[in-house]
């Protein structure tokens, strides 16, 4: 552990490590499912499920099966009684704070030999919070005191406020089993010590453990893994990115100041690295700067309209808006312009959902080409985008391009997620399948297409999952 001016404490490597090495794995101190997903996500293993079984006592907590329920009972036992007594479940912030308090009462502030800090030592930034956030925090504290059992150990308003402040600044986005969507929030003490850099040398991934075993001890172990993105020398500080690098440097600095209360002075913010690419015009003669600015402003407005249509699940309207915008952006904005990339991302995802795979593949390929020029070569978001693009090309029948992209995605995810992560295992199976199909394709292209068409007719492809917000781009979650 190190102390850095203006940055507080941090962590550094004790020995030389290489890309993909796990520097530490931090078990979850406590975690809860988001309020909006309590009926769709298992409260123990955080998997999305079509059918869940309710807790027979509080009727709030929901689980995959009896195994998950037994595994989650340690965290849920006191919560269950409190919900029954209170008459309803409080919001996710209060539920998480209560789970933290119950664990602190039972086990103290240090729950493993690898834990480097206690919750008391973590920053709550209460003195830095704006008035509006402080008002919301006071409401949560008041409701927490109503929810907390009268027979339990009582805590001061100051200690409860500290926990809410820690959650506000350090609550980590907990993803589903595949790592594709944020479904909850948790607290991981060691991760709170890792400082930010917009171009970091590490990445954090949630590994939900083994879901196939029936032994509750091994069934699910929510933990984060800090993994190296490249060579890190002994003594070098370990850093992760709290925000998505796809934002402009000024926007990143503003987000970091508002959410985490510090001024980012990293090299990429100071030099505004790649900001020119993110707002660039197309490399075409005769495109004036005013035209680029005009289309950029138009894109911002269209993105707002598109997001509203997406929230209403009006996907045909989403496609219409995106196509109109993409037509205006063509030959005006560069393939690295962030607003064009956002349009391509949404359009490709929704077209895949509507099974227009040929057109979706075109935008997926453009997205990958743009991301490669902006992101770190081992960025998890780049790997996930390559994976989606590879699958979309395969669905469109472009077996060679699809296989190539899946192989590239696999190489990235082996670094960022590791070989045991569920999504890496799925991708490896996909890679083996496309490799087999590619050999068949090269041996006899006509026979391959005939077999593929027959297979698709006999087993119609199911509708893809509804489009969700792309990836888990931000590490930490702010209320």
pLDDT band for position 112 (50/70/90)?
A: confident
Is the separation of the CB atoms in 197 and 35 below 8 Å? no
At 458 the pLDDT is 62
Smallest CA-to-CA distance from 147 within 106, 96, 200 is with: 96
At 215 the pLDDT is 47
Instruction: Label each residue of the chain as H, E or C.
Output: CEEECCCEEECECCCCECCCCEEEEEECCEEEECHHHCCCECCCCCCECCCCEECCCCCCCEECCHHHHHHHHHHHHHHHHHHHHHCCCCCHHHHHHHHHHHHHHHHCCCCCCCCCCCHHHCCCCHHHCCHHHHHHHHHHHHHHHHHCCCCCCCCCHHHHHHHHHHHHHHCEEEECCCCCCEEEEEECHHHHHCEECCCCCEEEEEECCCCCCCCHHHHCCCEEEEEECCCECCCCECEECCCCCCCCHHHHHHHHHHHHCCCCCCHHHHCCCCHHHHCCECCCCCCCHHHHHHHHHHHHHHHHHHHHHHHCCCHHHHHHHHHHHHHHHCCCECCCCHHHHHHHHHHHHHHHHCCCHHHHHHHHHHHHHHHHHHCCCCCHHHHHHHHHHHHHHHHCCCHHHHHHHHHHHHHHHHHHCCCCCHHHHHHHHHHHHHHHHHHHHHHCHHHHHHHHHHHHHHCCCCCCCCCCCCCCCCCECCC
At 462 the pLDDT is 44
Condensed to tens digits (0 to 9), the pLDDT of residues 186-212 reads 999 999 999 999 999 999 988 775 544
Condensed to tens digits (0 to 9), the pLDDT of residues 60-73 reads 999 999 988 998 99
pLDDT band for position 59 (50/70/90)?
A: very high
At 461 the pLDDT is 43
At 285 the pLDDT is 64
Strand partners of residue 63: 53
At 297 the pLDDT is 96
- Domain residue ranges in the chain: 2-247, 267-458
pLDDT band for position 115 (50/70/90)?
A: confident
Higher pLDDT, 113 or 407: 407
pLDDT band for position 444 (50/70/90)?
A: confident
pLDDT of 473 strictly over 90: no
CA distance 216 to 41: 18
Q: Which residues contact 357 (CB under 8 A, 6 or more apart)?
A: 351, 392, 395, 396, 397
pLDDT band for position 21 (50/70/90)?
A: very high
pLDDT of 371 strictly over 60: yes
CA distance 431 to 442: 16
Q: What are phi and psi of 184, to 5 degrees?
A: -165, -175
Tokens of 267: 């090299």
Condensed to tens digits (0 to 9), the pLDDT of residues 213-272 reads 444 444 456 788 999 999 999 999 999 999 999 999 999 999 999 989 999 999 999 999
Is the separation of the CB atoms in 327 and 444 below 8 Å? no
Smallest CA-to-CA distance from 370 within 393, 348, 402, 397 is with: 348
Q: What is the mean pLDDT of residues 438-459?
A: 76
Higher pLDDT, 155 or 207: 155
Tokens of 375: 């992101």
| Percent of the chain whose predicted confidence (pLDDT) is above 70 | 89
pLDDT of 145 strictly over 70: yes
Is the separation of the CB atoms in 279 and 248 below 8 Å? yes
CA distance 374 to 391: 22
CA distance 375 to 458: 41
Assign domain 2-247 to a CATH class: mainly beta
What's the chain's average pLDDT? Answer: 88
**Which CATH architecture describes the domain 267-458?**
Alpha Horseshoe (1.25)
Degrees to nearest 5, angle at CA 207 with 238 and 224: 30
At 26 the pLDDT is 86
Tokens of 47: 């998997």
Judged by average pLDDT, the poorest of 13-17, 337-341, 418-422 is: 418-422
| pTM of model > 0.85 | yes
Condensed to tens digits (0 to 9), the pLDDT of residues 31-56 reads 999 999 999 999 998 888 889 999 99
Higher pLDDT, 441 or 196: 196
Condensed to tens digits (0 to 9), the pLDDT of residues 163-179 reads 999 999 899 988 877 77
At 275 the pLDDT is 96
CA distance 91 to 143: 9
pLDDT of 287 strictly over 60: yes
Write the burial class of residue 137 (CB in 10 Å: 0-12 exposed, 13-18 middle, 19+ buried): buried
Smallest CA-to-CA distance from 318 within 330, 306, 308 is with: 306
Domains 2-247 and 267-458 share a fold: no
Condensed to tens digits (0 to 9), the pLDDT of residues 377-403 reads 999 999 999 999 999 999 898 999 999
CA pseudo-torsion sign 411, 416, 419, 420:
negative
Higher pLDDT, 224 or 59: 59
């Amino acid at each position: 552990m190190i102390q850095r001016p203006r940055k507080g404490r941090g962590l550094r490597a004790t020995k030389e490590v290489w890309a993909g090495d796990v520097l530490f794995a931090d078990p979850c101190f406590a975690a809860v499912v988001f309020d909006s997903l309590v009926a769709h996500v298992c409260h123990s293993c955080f998997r999305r499920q079509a059918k869940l079984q309710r807790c027979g006592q509080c009727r709030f907590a929901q689980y995959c099966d009896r195994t998950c329920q037994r595994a989650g009972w340690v965290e849920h036992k006191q919560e269950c009684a409190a919900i029954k007594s209170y008459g309803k479940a409080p919001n996710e912030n209060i539920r998480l704070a209560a789970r933290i308090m119950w664990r602190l009462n039972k086990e103290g502030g240090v729950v493993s030999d690898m834990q480097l800090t206690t919750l008391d030592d973590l920053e709550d930034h209460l003195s830095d919070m704006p008035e509006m956030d402080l008002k919301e925090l006071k409401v949560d504290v008041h409701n927490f005191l109503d929810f907390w059992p009268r027979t339990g150990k009582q805590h001061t308003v100051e200690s409860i406020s500290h926990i809410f402040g820690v959650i506000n600044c350090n609550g980590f986005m907990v993803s589903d089993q595949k790592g594709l969507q944020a479904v909850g929030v948790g607290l991981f003490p060691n991760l709170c010590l890792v400082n930010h850099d917009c171009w970091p040398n590490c990445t954090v991934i949630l590994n939900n453990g083994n879901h196939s075993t029936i032994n509750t001890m091994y069934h699910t172990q929510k933990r984060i893994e800090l993994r190296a993105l490249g060579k890190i020398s002994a003594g070098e500080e370990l850093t992760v990115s709290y925000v998505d690098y796809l934002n402009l440097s000024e926007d990143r600095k503003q987000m970091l100041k508002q959410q985490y209360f510090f001024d980012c002075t990293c090299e990429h913010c100071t030099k505004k690295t790649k900001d020119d690419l993110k707002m660039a015009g197309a490399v075409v003669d005769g495109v004036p700067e005013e035209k680029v600015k005009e289309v950029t402003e138009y894109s911002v407005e269209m993105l707002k309209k598109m997001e509203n249509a997406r929230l209403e699940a009006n996907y045909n309207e989403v496609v219409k808006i995106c196509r109109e915008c993409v037509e205006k952006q063509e030959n005006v904005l560069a393939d690295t312009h962030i607003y064009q990339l956002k349009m391509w991302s949404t359009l490709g995802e929704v077209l895949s959902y509507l099974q227009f795979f040929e057109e979706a593949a075109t935008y997926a390929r453009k997205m990958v080409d743009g991301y490669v020029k902006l992101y770190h070569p081992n960025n998890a978001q780049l790997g996930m985008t390559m994976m989606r693009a590879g699958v979309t090309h395969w669905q469109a029948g472009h077996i060679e391009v699809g296989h190539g992209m899946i192989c590239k995605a696999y190489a990235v995810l082996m670094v960022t997620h590791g070989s045991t992560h569920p999504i890496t295992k799925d991708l490896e199976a996909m890679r083996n399948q496309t490799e087999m199909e590619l050999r068949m394709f090269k041996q006899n292209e006509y026979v391959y297409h005939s077999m593929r068409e027959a297979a698709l007719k006999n087993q119609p492809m199911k509708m893809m999952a509804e489009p969700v917000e792309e990836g888990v781009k931000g590490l930490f979650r702010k209320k």
